[in-house]
Amino acid sequence: MNPTTGTTRPTHTMPPAHPVKPRRPARARQPTQAGPSPQPTQTRPTPTPTPTSTARRQLNLATRHQLTTTAGVPPGTIASRTRPGGPWQRLLPRVYLLQTGPPDHRQRALAAVLYAAESGSDPLSGETAALTGGAALALLGIREAPYTPADVLIRAPRRLAGSPGVRPYPTTRWPRTITVSGIPSTRPVRAAADFAARTEEPADRVRSVLAHVVQSGWCHPHDLYAELRSARLLARPTIRAAAAELLAGVRSVAEAQARDTLSATDLPTPLWNARLHTPDGTFLASPDAYWPDEGVALEIDSAEYHYTRDSWHATLHRRLRLESHGILVVSATPSMVRDTPAEVIAALRTLLTLTTTRPTPPTVLARGHVQLELPVP
């Protein structure tokens, strides 16, 4: 510093003998305009499946492969928990119920699928095992369809030993599958055909089950006929007769018995389950059998469906609607058709004869089912 002026003299620095290349400064991270710098993304570990999570999606059931390989349960733990009085139960080989209470129909059906599915596959996918036959129809609420034995489709040429209550069914015609109450199953039309192919039930039971599948709306009679033909089942007289009844419009065993009775007489052939409408299109009723030229209907009224007051009143109202449009009605129960068919035929014959001289014909239009010839397989 100059003591006189009070200024500071500039300091001169000698340049280095050799120029030094300056280092490139580190690039500073530019902050984002919205908030602080983002934090590094953390990947959450995939949760390990547990016996509880596996059983939750399978009606409280699990296979041995799922317990040991997927959930990591030691084999000794499985053995100890399935001892008498333990919290688990062994329903089938390699299939366990993780509860103490008895299994219901759904659990037994799914246990059959788990038993038949290929190890390591997703048993709920319907790709390697699917419930079919009577057990699949019973899940749909088809009356008289048996829950056991459970028929399970597997892909041929794979073979699998049967087990009590389970019948593996190898097939080369693998169908499209659906899920019924959480259980991989075949469609109703395939389940009905497989039931007809493998059942040991009496002929009337087979006719009844097939009729209920169609009557409940699960498949069309022509689709069922095509499935029975694809399975080469129409060579069996019982199944061919049932197929003929369904194509003709018959929808119950009582109707089938009435059809057998009528076909043995000289009475005209009726329409079965035809839908009757007024000329303006208003629906009237769908009698079991109807003679359109004569205006005569046969109603087979089962006590099973008419034991309540409301059901009985509905039946009477339906008959009044038919008679108000000029239709003569013969009512009978299934037991009358079965035990006293001559009386039913006599009543029908009388009304069919009376209508030939009737001055006023019925004012209804019949739509729906008509008599169809059974195709040659």
Q: What is the mean pLDDT of each run of 10 residues along the chain (377 residues)?
A: 47 47 54 50 57 86 93 93 95 95 96 95 95 96 92 95 92 94 95 94 89 86 92 92 83 79 89 87 88 90 60 82 90 89 94 77 70 39
Q: Please measure the distance between the N-terminal and C-terminal CA atoms of the chain and give it in whole angstroms.
A: 123
Structure tokens at 58: 């399978």
Alpha carbon distance 14, 100 (integer Å): 94
What is the predicted pLDDT for the residue at 21?
Answer: 52
Task: Decide: 99 and 48 in contact? Cβ < 8 Å.
Answer: no
Please state the length of the chain: 377
Alpha helices (H) along 309-358 = 309-324, 334-339, 341-354
Task: Decide: 97 and 129 in contact? Cβ < 8 Å.
Answer: no
What is the predicted pLDDT for the residue at 78?
Answer: 95
Angstrom CA distances, 292 to 301, 307, 362, 365, stand at 20, 30, 9, 8
What is the predicted pLDDT for the residue at 192?
Answer: 96
Backbone angles phi, psi at 108, to 5 degrees: -65, -40
Residue in the block written with tokens 């139960």 = 89
Residue in the block written with tokens 């129809």 = 137
What is the predicted pLDDT for the residue at 372?
Answer: 38
For the entire predicted model, the pTM comes to: 0.65
Closest CA to 168 of 147, 184, 183, 154: 154
